[in-house]
Amino acid sequence: MLQQWGWFNLGLFILNKFIATLSKGSWRIYRYHFVAQPVPAEALLPPRRGRNIEIRLIDEQDEVIGQFPRPAEAIKERFRQGAKCLVAFKEGQFVGFLWLLLGSYQEDEVRALYTPLPKERTAWDFDVYVEPGSRLGFTFLRLWDEANHFLKHHDIAWSCSRISAFNAGSLSAHARLGTVRLGSAIFFYAGRWQVTLASLSPYFHLSSYPGSFPEFRLDTRKLGKT
C-alpha cells in the first residue's frame, strides 16, 4: 500500500479513517488527482477482442439502472446535468458502465464544480464501473473504446476526470490510458464546513453550504494536440 500510495496519501488515508470514526462520519478527508487523457485515434482492443460485449448508450428511463450499484438519486442528478451513460452487457447481462459529460460537472462526493476547457474539445468522464466477475476481461476496454468513439464523433480531443488518491487501481488503470496529471485537491469536511486546498486555481476555498463550491477550470490547451 505504501509503495502504491506514498507516505503522504497513506497518512491522509489513516487520518481520514481516524477522524471519520471519532466524528461518526461528519468529518472526512478526500484527495483527488485531476487528470486528462487523450482520445486515441486507434482502438484500445484488437478487433477480434470483446465482440461478445455489447455497449449501449442508455437514457434515464432504462430499466438496467435498477442494477447499478449507485443511489437512484445520484443517477437522476447525473442525467439532470446532461451526462451520457454507456452500459456494457455480456450475453444480455449488465457488466459495467461509464459516464461522460460534455460540459461542467457538479461533483456528488464533495462540493466542487469541474469545467473542462476548451469546452468544444474537452469532455468529463467519471464513474467507470465493471462488475467484479468481469474485471479481468475486456469490459473496461470495450467501454473505453465505445466512449472514445462517442467523443471523437463530438470532436473531443481530451477527457478530464478526477481520481481518488486512495484508489490505486483506478490511478494505474488511468495511467495505462495515457493520462496526464493536471493537479490535485484536498477536501476537508467538518460538519457543514468544507475546506479545499488545491494545487490549481482557486487554490483555497471555504464553504459553509452546498451552494458554495470551488470551480476547477481544467484546461487541456497546454497539453497539445492528440
Partner 1 sequence: MQHLEEVRNILSDVLSLGERKNQLKADSILLGNIPELDSMAVVNVITALEDHFGITVDDDEISAETFETLGSLTRFVEQKLVG
Q: Closest separation between CB of residue 127 and partner 1, Å? A: 17
> Hey, how many other C-beta atoms are within 10 angstroms of the C-beta on 84?
20
Q: Closest separation between CB of residue 187 and partner 1, Å? A: 26
Q: Closer to partner 1 by CB, 79 or 89: give it.
A: 89
Q: Closer to partner 1 by CB, 20 or 168: give it.
A: 168
Cβ atoms of 125 and 160 closer than 8 Å:
yes
Q: Closest separation between CB of residue 62 and partner 1, Å? A: 25
Q: Cell for 178?
A: 495515457
d(Cα 183, Cα 181) in Å, to the nearest integer? 6
Q: Closest separation between CB of residue 132 and partner 1, Å? A: 10
Q: Closest separation between CB of residue 141 and partner 1, Å? A: 6
Q: Closer to partner 1 by CB, 46 or 211: give it.
A: 46
Q: Closer to partner 1 by CB, 42 or 59: give it.
A: 42
Q: Closer to partner 1 by CB, 135 or 217: give it.
A: 135
Q: Cell for 121?
A: 474539445
Q: Cell for 161?
A: 476526470
d(Cα 190, Cα 220) in Å, to the nearest integer? 33
d(Cα 170, Cα 179) in Å, to the nearest integer? 11
Bridge partners of residue 38, in order along the sequence: 158
**Which residues lie near partner 1 (CB under 8 A)?**
4, 44-46, 49-52, 130, 135-141, 168-169, 172-173, 176-177
Q: Cell for 191?
A: 460538519
d(Cα 93, Cα 72) in Å, to the nearest integer? 20
